[in-house]
Amino acid sequence: MVAEEGVIRLVTRGDDAGSCRTANVAIRDCAVRGILRNVSVLAVGPAVDHAARILRSCDGLCIGLHACITAEWEEVKWGPVLPTKVVRSLVDRRGYFRRTVQELHERGVECEELMAEVAAQLAVLRGLKLPVAYVDTHMGFEWLPGVRERMVAFAAREGLLYAPEAVRPLPRVEGHYSSSVAGVCASLAAAKPGTYALIGHPGYVRADMRRFGHKGYRDVARDRDEQRRWFMDPAVLACCEAHRVKPIRYTDVGEKE
């Protein structure tokens, strides 16, 4: 088939499904009523069972493992799928993941423990009957020494696409905008034909999402409500129509129209 000329192909991805019920609902809404086509699921999230139930009902979604080895929030914490004694270099004395990737690096993370935990997280999602097609990383931990090559090999072995290497981000257009939604529209309007990724963390301003926050990032719920609008705001939908933007899944990246 011949590729359609002048089209912007946009890999639209919502991260942190499983972190709370509100995130799950927002992601579902973005898929059903908007342009979201990919969702990255936290197997270690407290609401992962709920995420699996509602995502299985969304036709056409591409599901990914949001591999996670950190727990950055002050109030909401999570730990590994594997027993803590098996992944000692990943956890603090309470059995939770450490707060940042930098902290893990400074304390000396064991790559074999890390990859065993990633494999266990994939098994959780598959056990929940989610058709996992790709893997990416929460908080971008692949910069840790020896991890990127292991993640690439893991993805190939499991028949998954490795999302960080799949497509470049949508180029941002610098400027002062009334909202981040206006900024997204400006970036789409300025983009040349090609394939890009737009990644956000959809949410609503609700009680469970208000629990998320840490020093330097307190108004998480309001910020994620804004990110939800990137994928379903009428202005974004109109912009996509006007500028020939086609939302696609990761599994569509290598295909021609």
pLDDT tens digit sequence for 195-250: 999 999 999 999 999 999 999 999 999 999 999 999 999 999 999 999 999 999 99
Cα 59 to Cα 11: distance, rounded to the nearest angstrom: 16
Summarize pLDDT for 50-63 with one digit per residue, the tens.
999 999 989 999 99
- Which residues, at least 6 apart from 47, have a Cβ–Cβ distance to it below 8 Å? 18, 19, 20, 21, 23, 24
| Residue 4 pLDDT exceeds 80 | no
Summarize pLDDT for 67-81 with one digit per residue, the tens.
999 999 999 999 999
Helices 220-232 and 21-33 pack at an angle, to 10 degrees, of 20
| Residue 2 pLDDT exceeds 50 | no
The CATH T-level fold of domain 8-252 is TIM Barrel (3.20.20)
Cα 94 to Cα 52: distance, rounded to the nearest angstrom: 27
Summary mean pLDDT of the chain: 95
Structural domain boundaries in the chain:
8-252
For the entire predicted model, the pTM comes to 0.95
Banded pLDDT at 6 (limits 50, 70, 90): confident
